[in-house]
Structure 1
Amino acid sequence: MLATTIAGVFSISAAAIFSFGLLSKMVERMVSLSVGIMLSTSFLHALPEAFESKADPRTLFATLLAGLLAFFLLEKTAILRHSHHHEGDGHEHHHGHDAHEAGKAGWMILVGDGLHNFTDGILIAAAFLADPGLGLVTGLAIIAHEIPQEIGDFIVLLNAGFSRKRAYFYNLICSLMAVLGGLLGYFTLERGMEWIPYVLVFASSGFIYIAVSDLMPQMQRRATLRETIPQIMLIGLGVVIVLFLTRH
């Protein structure tokens, strides 16, 4: 409960600070750090933890494939993440088109985020049941990838007519759905420990998909050496953080 609450409140509060104008230049840096944390959490800790169990490796690989495809479909249907447009973005829309679209999307975004955060809570619970160290880095990875996503959601909500306080309040309520997911995951998975390896693999598929399909392409748009060096350093920092937190 503490991990899911901190993950939700911290990510929403940090996103609000960035969205409301402070430290906005750090958002791009957060993307690189997120990639390092998510990939290293998946490949260096969660997946090895799952494959060291008694679960059938073929079934675990099938779960990984199913997870990647599931996150692809979720993205396609705009449940997990959302495409945002802004006035003056270079597209030919009538005046007010984007604000109108954002207004229609505002509540949909909140519902989608609530479901997403509920799932995150289940994944955090599964990770803690497998290993407290894994639970810690899973929560950290979720915070790292939630902040850039929530920033986009804040922008849309503000454009949809929400006040800053209202946007923060509703986003906070949605983020606390992770607590409900964590409680459900803890009491459900505690009785079915054999399911934990599969949940860990599914969580890893989500981290891998988000990092590879969303975050890394954003980084590729900045191809100069001056921009690439900090990206590589921050990815490395993310890996080091995970290795430090999961050392035995």
Structure 2
Amino acid sequence: MLHELSALNPVLLSLLAGLFTWGCTAAGASLVFFFKDLDQKMANVMFGFAAGVMIAASFWSLLAPAIEISSGMGKFSFVPALIGFLLGGAFLRLVDRLIPHLHFGFPVAQKEGPKTKLRKIILLVLSITIHNIPEGAAVGVAFGAIVTGDTELLIAALALAFGIGIQNFPEGAAVSIPLRGEGLSRARSFWYGQLSAIVEPIFAVIGAYLVVHVSPVLPYALAFAAGAMIFVVVEELIPESQREGSTDLATAATMLGFAVMMVLDVALG
């Protein structure tokens, strides 16, 4: 099975993986047809779990392979991972400044990015869309890495896609149900909820295409995706998971998410 998958075009695999993670978001967003509100404690748990998965994925599926690929540099094998990691964080910071958005639970007056007259609903969706960019890029880069022929990298890519898909399900609900609370119909809430993840297959293809055709950037690209994901975790997911009490529960969910992703990556690998 793995041999057959490794023979496929990495860009095609990244597209399929991106569509899978997008589909998981859509499945989670569909819960808006069954629930009209989302308990704050449950929202905190969802964001905490997503944070844990992304932290673990950043190391085992992205940073560790980046350092391994650069092992020929000896004691300086950390350099590509370091440069890529910091550039990933810087890139997300730039996106944060260039795209207007608003985090869930905050008043419109606290929107981030340039001044805009966009509606609150659009600002909320843009916030989650920004968050999904590094997830898509991470999946794409991970599948693009299999061009080296290393089966372990394919296993890591599959584990990463599955892990992101798992955390995208509750995240889809954490987007669509609050949008319903903002006054949107169930159909529109679902539409915007799943639409926030449309960037994942797009950036998955971009990431895979880049590393396949410019192979020397592979360790930098892997670390870049990790840095972008960690930026999202620290700047968005953890703060949102700690709102309005139940911090212990959210922290436990973060540890559970980390453990799930660790088991997926290490055990499968």
TM-score when scaled to structure 1? 0.71
What does residue 154 of structure 2 align with? 132
- Residue 83 of structure 1 corresponds to 103
Structure 2 SS opposite 1:21: coil
User: Residue 158 of structure 1: CA displacement?
Assistant: 7.3
1:47 partner SS: helix
Aligned length: 232
Provide Cα deviations, 1:65-92, integer angstroms capped at 9, x if missing partner: 222122223223345x533578xx7x99
Secondary structure of the corresponding residue to residue 24 of structure 1: coil
**Structure 2 CA distance, aligned partners of 1:84 and 1:114?**
13
Listed as ranges, the matches of 1:23-172 within 5 Å are: 24-25=38-39, 26-54=42-70, 57-78=78-99, 81-84=101-104, 104-106=119-121, 117=132, 120-130=135-145, 131-143=153-165, 144=167, 147-148=170-171, 151-152=174-175, 155-156=178-179, 159=182, 163-169=185-191, 171-172=193-194
Secondary structure of the residue that 1:190 maps to in structure 2?
helix
What SS is found at the alignment partner of 2:69?
A: coil
Task: Identify unmatched segments of 5+ residues in structure 2.
Answer: 1-14, 110-115, 146-152
Residue 27 (structure 1) shift: 2.2
> Which ranges in structure 1 are unaligned for 5 or more consecutive residues?
93-100
**By how many angstroms is 1:39 displaced?**
1.1
Alpha-carbon shift at residue 135 of structure 1 (Å): 1.9
1:215 matched to 2:231? The reply is no
In structure 2, C-alpha distance between the alignment counterparts of 1:220 and 1:197, rounded to whole Å? 33
Q: How has the CA–CA distance of structure 1 residues 84 and 180 changed in structure 2, closer, same or farther, with 3 Å as cutoff?
A: closer
Paired-residue identity, %: 19
Partner of 1:14: 28
> How far has the Cα of 1:116 moved from its partner?
6.4
The 1-side partners of 2:225 and 2:258 are apart by 18
Contact preservation (8 Å) 1:3, 1:139: yes
Q: Amino acid of the residue matched to residue 186 of structure 1?
A: A
CA distance in 1 between partners of 2:127 and 2:243 (Å): 27
How many angstroms does 1:127 deviate by? 0.8
- Note the 1:161-200 alignment, pairs <5 A: 163-169=185-191, 171-173=193-195, 175-200=197-222
For residues 163 and 228 of structure 2, what CA distance do their matches in structure 1 show? Answer: 11
Deviation at 1:30, TM superposition (A): 1.2
> Following TM superposition, by how much is the alpha carbon of 1:124 offset from its aligned partner in structure 2, in angstroms?
0.9
Cα drift, residue 138 of structure 1 = 2.9
Deviation (angstroms), 1:18:
5.2
Counterpart code for 2:92 = F
> SS of 1:83's equivalent?
coil
Instruction: Give the TM-score of the pair, scaled to structure 2.
Output: 0.67
Deviation at 1:201, TM superposition (A): 0.8
In structure 1, C-alpha distance between the alignment counterparts of 2:43 and 2:92, rounded to whole Å: 23
Code of the residue aligned with 2:254 in structure 1: it is: I
The answer as to whether partners of 2:53 and 2:260 remain within 8 angstroms in 1 is: yes
Q: Is the 8 A contact 2:31 2:177 kept in 1?
A: no
